[in-house]
């Protein structure tokens, strides 16, 4: 082995574990799915090991026979080693060194452990170098957290990824989706069947814009969705409220869950049966993984730092876009909002969860029978960055859009939900029933197909 183990840099690695993983794959190619749960090519320290694993992964993905002879032939054609004799010798030693293929997951864990430590050492060096270059402390902290987060998530931004690795990951995702039933939906259920059928649920990495004029009910709809996801999906929901306090949000959620009029709940004048209903609703909401942050001046960097600490995150809700600010300076507000929406899309992608952002519509939208994408206030690139855009509006007696106004206590009426943009399917208009006394929406069906 000495010919192949010289000149290693002083970084932690486990040569025997790497050799045992590769040897197990040569002995039994069916070990590959187990190995892929822990490792990719970059997880190996030795260059020949990275190349050998990539080659074997390519063969496995293509459905080719993978054993000592076939791999040796490919290794020779790829010139991974200096000579054909060295290739044959090293592969023979790999087969001989593996104690048993039954423990391949333990060998893979050892390789991954050393890989994580090497990545941490590299990231620490990057952070030190950026600090020496005078990077702003807040930006430095955010960048450091991002790099540590990527290590924890098994992500590596060092280079291009071969399509074979992506195919394997896609198969894993499809198998996981098949096992995790969401009523036939790819994403999480919103609790509104017609909306779910149109968007295929709340999908990972999606930026969802929920827009309306003030008083139409966008916050209430978002809270209805948050309650459903938090109670039914087993996932955590994070709500960032820049306008309302956490107590106000919880009162609305309790009103919907306990079916106690919101005005009555706020003054605490409840009958005995209502106290019982309230206690039951409180217990249900308390057992769900819903987290609320009512910091009024929060930016994307702060959100990212807080969200990384939430385990089993499933959905993020931000109420609302026009109250957000950026840590950077921009020449005008439209440019700033555009930068914020781009960062929100990046946040959804990095976290792998849907991010629902509430947004105001411009006053000019009230002149139209229904709002348009161009009516998004300070729109900029909002409609471009969003995967789904939902627009709530009410119709007046003549079919015109009703003026934005605060929902009256106890009011009950129909609210249209226009799916104005949908990367997962068609656009159409849905109808919801709004029950003002309980701040609760329910689905009515499709208004019309478009």
C-alpha dihedral, 161 to 165 to 167 to 168, nearest 10°: -160
pLDDT at 354 (0 to 100) = 94
Q: pLDDT tens digits, residue range 75-125?
A: 998 888 889 899 899 999 999 998 889 999 999 999 999 998 998 888 888
* Model-wide pTM > 0.85: no
Is the Cβ–Cβ distance between 205 and 352 less than 8 Å? yes
Q: pLDDT tens digits, residue range 119-138?
A: 888 888 888 887 887 777 77
Residue 449 CB-density burial (10 A; 0-12 exposed, 13-18 middle, 19+ buried): exposed
pLDDT at 3 (0 to 100) = 40
Give the residue ranges of the chain where pLDDT is below 50: 1-8, 157-158, 397-399, 404-408, 449-450
What is the SS3 assignment for 221?
helix
Which residue among the candidates 16, 130, 243, 400 is catalytic per the annotation?
A: 243
pLDDT at 163 (0 to 100) = 65
DSSP per residue, 301-348 = HHHHHHHTT-TTEEEEEEE-GGG---SS--SSHHHHHHHHHHHHHHHH
pLDDT at 260 (0 to 100) = 83
List 431's β-bridge partners, or say none. 416, 445
Q: Count Cα atoms within 13 angstroms, Cβ side, for 125.
A: 6
Q: Distance between CA 72 and CA 55 in Å, rounded? A: 11
130 is catalytic: no
pLDDT at 271 (0 to 100) = 81
Sign of the CA dihedral running 292, 296, 299, 301:
negative
Angstrom distances, CA of residue 269 to CA of 273, 298, 361, 435: 12, 35, 36, 20
Q: Distance between CA 83 and CA 80 in Å, rounded? A: 9
pLDDT at 95 (0 to 100) = 93
């Amino acid at each position: 082995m000495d010919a192949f183990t010289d000149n290693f840099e002083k970084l932690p690695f486990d040569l025997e574990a790497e050799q045992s993983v590769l040897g197990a794959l040569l002995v039994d190619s069916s070990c590959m799915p187990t190995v892929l749960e822990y490792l990719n090519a970059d997880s190996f320290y030795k260059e020949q090991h990275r190349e050998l694993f990539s080659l074997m992964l390519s063969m496995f993905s293509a459905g080719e026979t993978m054993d000592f002879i076939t791999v040796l032939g490919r290794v020779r054609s790829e010139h991974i080693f200096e000579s054909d004799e060295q290739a044959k010798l090293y592969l023979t030693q790999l087969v001989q060194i593996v104690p048993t293929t039954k423990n391949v997951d333990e060998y893979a864990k050892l390789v991954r452990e050393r890989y994580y430590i090497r990545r941490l050492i590299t990231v620490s060096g990057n952070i030190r170098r950026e600090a020496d270059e005078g990077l702003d402390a807040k930006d430095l902290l955010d960048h450091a957290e991002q790099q540590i987060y990527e290590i924890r998530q098994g992500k590596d931004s060092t280079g291009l990824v071969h399509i074979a690795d992506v195919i394997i990951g896609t198969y894993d995702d499809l198998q996981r989706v098949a096992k995790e039933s969401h009523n036939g939906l790819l994403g999480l259920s919103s609790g509104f069947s017609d909306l779910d059928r149109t968007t295929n649920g709340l999908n990972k990495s999606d930026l969802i814009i929920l827009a309306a004029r003030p008083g139409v009910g966008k916050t209430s709809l978002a809270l209805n969705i948050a309650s459903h996801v938090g109670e039914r999906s087993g996932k955590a929901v994070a709500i960032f409220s820049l306008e309302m306090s956490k107590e106000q949000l919880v009162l609305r959620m309790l009103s919907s869950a306990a079916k106690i009029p919101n005005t009555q709940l706020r003054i605490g004048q409840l009958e005995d049966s209502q106290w019982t209903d309230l206690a039951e609703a409180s217990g249900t909401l308390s057992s769900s993984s819903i987290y609320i942050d009512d910091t009024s001046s929060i930016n994307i960097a702060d959100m990212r730092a807080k969200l990384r600490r939430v385990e089993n995150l499933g959905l993020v809700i931000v109420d609302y876009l026009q109250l957000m600010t950026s840590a950077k300076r921009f020449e005008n507000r439209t440019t700033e909002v555009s930068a914020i929406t781009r960062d929100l899309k990046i946040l959804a992608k990095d976290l792998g969860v849907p991010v629902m952002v509430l947004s105001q519509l411009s006053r000019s939208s009230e002149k139209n029978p229904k709002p348009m994408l161009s009516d998004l206030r300070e729109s900029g690139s909002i409609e471009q960055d969003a995967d789904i855009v939902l627009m709530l509006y009410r119709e007046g007696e003549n079919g015109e859009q009703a003026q934005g106004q605060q929902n009256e206590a106890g009011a009950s009426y129909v609210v249209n939900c226009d799916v104005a943009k949908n990367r997962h399917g068609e656009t159409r208009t849905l109808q919801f029933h709004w029950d003002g006394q309980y701040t609760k929406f329910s689905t009515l069906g499709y208004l019309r197909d478009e």
